[in-house]
Copies of this chain bind each other. A is one copy, B any other.
Amino acid sequence: MTTVTLKDIAKLAGVHPSTVSKILSGKENIQISDGTRKKVQTIAQELDYRPNQLAQAFRLKKTFTIALIIPEISNSFFSGIAKSIEKESYQAGYNLVVCNTEENSEKEEKYINNFISRGIDGFIIVPSQKSTDHIKNLIKRKIPFVLVDRSFPSIQTNTVVSDNVISAYKCTKYLSELGHKRIAFIRGINELSTIRLRLEGYLKAVKEFNLDQDSELICGNGFTLESGRNSTKEVLSLEKPPTALIVSGNMLTIGAIKAIMEKKLTIPNDISIIGYVDDDWASCAITPLTVISHQLKYIGKKSFSLLLEQIKSGDIDIPVSRVEIESKLIIRDSTAQLDENLK
């Protein structure tokens, strides 16, 4: 039950291992007689030869493996992207390693370093954005990588993000058109570029449509359900509570709904809500949710193709791309015209 190597085949075929290698690697430009070629091929088949990829990778410094570094695999936003990337990479003959950082920069760095020394071919990273050192290191070492969902204004890299400014602006504008003046923004981890950009879009609309500009309406720092629940409770307890909510995350939105339920408020009568939710459950929530939904499949697809381009380019410097992908405002029942009495 020992594994079959080139040597074994060579011995049986009465040729040199290198000959076997040349035949089996399927290159066109080698000179081998049809006889030996056939012989070697059949023996390889009979023995069910599988090249030791560990040896190959070691020799060739090429693993055909890429790493996906994400903050939270059980969050559907990331698992949706992961699914898409997995599909793409599988089709391209690459293996995918998925790592969970739990928004922990140290873990992220450890993973990246580990994978570098494992000879990974490239990275797709949703960075936790608490440090840029390891990202800069990748650039310095010319290791192909793509940043997804979050980007560093200070570093020029290949990036795939969604249209955060626009999406938040769209939400706010839509709510404003429904008559809402006090719109809270439950924000998520506020150091993230994603969140800052959404906030930018929100504020832009707030100014443009003359809505209540009140820092108390911008709340939260985290992506957990609990964080969403607490932040929502907080804004709902203000002397002048908001009449609408924009919630910037999957889990956050569940938390927000829970808080609303606990306050015995109903959606959308008492309060309107738009969530950044990518799941199918949004349509069968307590009130079917109006959401901003990302095109996860396309984000994944684009990220992978951008990475592959880099990997294939070898050492040639190719220009950096920054791709922004449109997200969609899907209107359901959780947003309603503001009742004049509530104003």
* Chain A contact residues, CB within 8 Å of chain B: 1, 50-55, 57-58, 61, 63, 72-74, 76, 79-80, 82-83, 86-87, 90, 95-100, 107, 113-119, 140-142, 225, 251, 254, 257-258, 261, 279-281, 283-288
Q: Which residues from B are CB-within-8-Å of A257?
A: 284
Q: Are A141 and B74 in contact (CB under 8 A)?
A: no
Cα distance A40–B134 when bound, in Å? 26
Q: Are A284 and B286 in contact (CB under 8 A)?
A: yes
Q: Which residues from B are CB-within-8-Å of A225?
A: 280
Q: Which residues from B are CB-within-8-Å of A79?
A: 73-74, 76, 79
Q: How far is the CB of A37 from chain B (nearest CB, A)?
A: 23
Interface centre among A74, A140, A285 (most CB of B within 10 A): A74
Q: Are B100 and A97 in contact (CB under 8 A)?
A: no
Q: Which residues from B are CB-within-8-Å of A285?
A: 281, 284-286
With contacts A74-B80, A286-B286 known, is A58 near B50, CB below 8 A?
A: no
Contact of A54 among B54, B76, B98, B113 (CB under 8 A): B54
Cα distance A251–B279 when bound, in Å? 10
**Identical subunits present:** 2
Contact of A73 among B58, B63, B83, B114 (CB under 8 A): B83
Q: Are A1 and B97 in contact (CB under 8 A)?
A: no
With contacts A118-B53, A118-B54 known, is A100 near B74, CB below 8 A?
A: no
With contacts A100-B83, A283-B258 known, is A114 near B76, CB below 8 A?
A: no
Q: Are A117 and B53 in contact (CB under 8 A)?
A: yes
Q: How far is the CB of A229 from chain B (nearest CB, A)?
A: 11
Q: Are A1 and B140 in contact (CB under 8 A)?
A: yes
Contact of A76 among B76, B117, B140 (CB under 8 A): B76
Q: Are A281 and B281 in contact (CB under 8 A)?
A: yes
The 10 closest A-B pairs by CB, nearest first: A98-B98, A257-B284, A281-B281, A74-B83, A58-B58, A54-B119, A86-B100, A74-B79, A53-B118, A79-B79
With contacts A98-B97, A99-B86 known, is A54 near B57, CB below 8 A?
A: yes
Q: Which residues from B are CB-within-8-Å of A283?
A: 254, 258
10 further contact pairs, Cβ within 8 A, besides A54-B58, A86-B99: A53-B114, A53-B118, A57-B118, A73-B73, A95-B115, A95-B118, A261-B284, A279-B281, A281-B285, A284-B285
Cα distance A69–B61 when bound, in Å? 26
Cα distance A99–B61 when bound, in Å? 23
Q: Are B114 and A87 in contact (CB under 8 A)?
A: no
Q: Which residues from B are CB-within-8-Å of A251?
A: 280
Chain B residue, CB-CB nearest to A80 = B74
5 contacts between A and B (CB under 8 A): A50-B116, A54-B119, A74-B82, A97-B98, A254-B280
Contact of A286 among B73, B82, B288 (CB under 8 A): B288
Q: How far is the CB of A103 from chain B (nearest CB, A)?
A: 13
Cα distance A87–B97 when bound, in Å? 14
